[in-house]
C-alpha cells in the first residue's frame, strides 16, 4: 500500500479554542475535500500543530485563513510554519522564539 | 525572497507579530493617495488619473473601463484578502468567485497584481503562507503569488512614499 505523505503545520490563534470546535469549522470550510486534506489537530509541547496530507496542504492553509470564528467566538488562525516532520517543525518554531 | 503586507491605518500590531507571520515588514496604508481603496468606479478612475500606484477594488467587481485605464497607466491592482475573510457562507463564496474573475481579467490585461491583507484589525491579518495560498486558490501561479506578496507589495509601498512626498 502507498503511504500518504504528510505535512505538519504550526498554527497560532488569537484566542484559545476547543479542538472539536476547530474540527467542525475545518469540516465546514473544506467541505467534501475533507477526506483528501484529512486534518488531525495535535498538541505538541503546548503548541497547536495540524497534520494533513501533502496534497491537501494548500486547501487547509486557505481554510485556516478564512476561518474567523471558532465555537461562535471571534478568532483568527495563523499558519506560521510547515514541515514534513514534527521534529523539524519544532526546530523551526524554536528559531522563531525571541 | 522578502515578503511584505499592507494593512489599514487603524490595524493594531507590533513588529514581533509581523515577523512571526513571516513578513519582513507590515506597512500601513494611511488613506493617502498612493493606494486607492474602494469600490466606486468614479473614485477609482480619479485615483488612476491622479497617478495612484495601485488600486484595491474591495467588492472585486470587474469594470472594463477601470481595468483598461489601470492597464494603460501601469497602475497596479492590489487584491485585498480581508473582505474575503470577513464574510461567511454564500456571500464569501460569491466574493471568492468575483475575486478569481477579477484576477483572471487583470492578468489578461497585463496589470501587475499584488496580494495584501488590507486588514483593519489584527483578527483579519494573515500570515505570509496564507496570503500565498489564497492567491493560488484565486488562480495565481506559485511564482505570481509569491511575487505578489513580495516585490509587488514593496513596489506599492515605495510608490506610495514617492507619491506622498510630491
Average of per-residue pLDDT across B75-81: 96
Whether B33 shows a pLDDT value over 70: the answer reads no
The answer as to whether A20 is a domain residue is yes
Could you report the per-residue pLDDT of A82-97, keeping only the tens digit for each?
999 999 999 999 888 7
A 74-93 residues inside an 8 A Cβ radius of B: 74-76, 78-82
The answer as to whether A54 is a domain residue is yes
Residues B123, A62: C-beta atoms closer than 8 Å: no
Structural domain boundaries enclosing A76 = 6-96
Q: What are chain B's domains?
A: 4-165 (3.20.20.140)
Nearest to A64 among B20, B130, B131 (CB): B130
**Which residue is listed with cell 490595524?**
B11
Q: What share of chain B is helix, strand, coil (3-state, %, to 5)?
A: 50, 15, 35
3-class DSSP state for residue A44?
strand
The answer as to whether A1 is a domain residue is no
Say what the pLDDT of residue A1 is: 72
Structurally, chain A folds into a number of domains equal to 1
> Which range among A94-98, B13-17, B78-82 shows the weakest confidence by mean pLDDT?
A94-98
- Does A94 reach chain B within 8 Å, measured CB to CB? no
H helices of chain A, where?
19-30, 34-37, 57-66, 86-96
Chain B positions touching A64 (Cβ under 8 A) are: 130
Q: What CATH number is attached to the domain comprising A19?
A: 3.30.70.3250
Say what the pLDDT of residue A98 is: 67
Could you report the per-residue pLDDT of B87-131, keeping only the tens digit for each?
999 999 999 999 999 999 999 999 999 999 999 999 999 999 999
Q: Give B85→chain A minimum CA distance, Å.
A: 5
Amino acid at each position: 500500500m502507498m503511504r500518504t505523505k504528510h505535512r505538519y503545520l504550526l498554527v497560532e490563534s488569537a484566542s484559545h479554542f476547543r479542538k472539536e470546535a476547530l474540527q467542525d469549522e475545518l469540516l465546514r470550510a473544506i467541505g467534501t475535500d475533507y477526506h483528501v486534506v484529512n486534518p488531525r489537530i495535535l498538541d505538541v509541547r503546548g503548541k497547536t500543530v495540524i497534520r494533513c496530507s501533502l496534497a491537501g496542504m494548500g486547501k487547509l492553509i486557505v481554510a485556516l485563513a478564512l476561518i474567523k470564528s471558532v465555537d461562535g467566538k471571534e478568532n483568527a488562525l495563523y499558519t506560521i510554519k510547515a514541515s514534513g516532520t514534527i521534529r523539524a517543525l519544532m526546530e523551526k518554531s524554536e528559531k522563531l522564539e525571541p | 525572497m522578502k515578503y511584505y503586507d499592507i494593512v489599514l491605518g487603524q490595524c493594531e500590531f507590533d513588529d514581533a507579530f509581523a515577523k512571526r507571520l513571516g513578513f519582513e515588514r507590515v506597512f500601513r496604508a494611511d488613506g493617502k493617495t498612493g493606494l486607492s481603496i474602494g469600490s466606486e468606479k468614479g473614485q477609482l478612475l480619479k485615483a488612476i488619473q491622479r497617478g495612484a500606484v495601485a488600486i484595491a477594488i474591495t467588492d472585486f467587481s470587474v469594470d472594463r473601463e477601470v481595468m483598461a485605464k489601470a492597464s494603460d497607466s501601469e497602475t497596479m491592482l492590489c487584491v485585498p484578502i480581508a473582505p474575503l475573510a470577513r464574510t461567511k457562507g454564500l456571500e464569501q463564496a460569491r466574493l471568492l468567485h468575483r475575486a478569481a474573475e477579477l484576477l483572471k481579467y487583470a492578468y489578461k490585461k497585463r496589470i501587475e497584481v499584488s496580494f495584501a491583507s488590507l486588514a483593519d484589525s489584527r483578527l483579519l491579518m494573515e500570515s505570509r503562507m496564507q496570503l500565498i495560498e489564497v492567491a493560488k486558490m484565486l488562480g495565481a501561479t506559485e511564482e505570481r503569488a509569491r511575487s505578489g506578496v513580495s516585490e509587488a507589495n514593496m513596489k506599492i509601498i515605495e510608490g506610495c512614499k514617492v507619491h506622498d512626498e510630491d
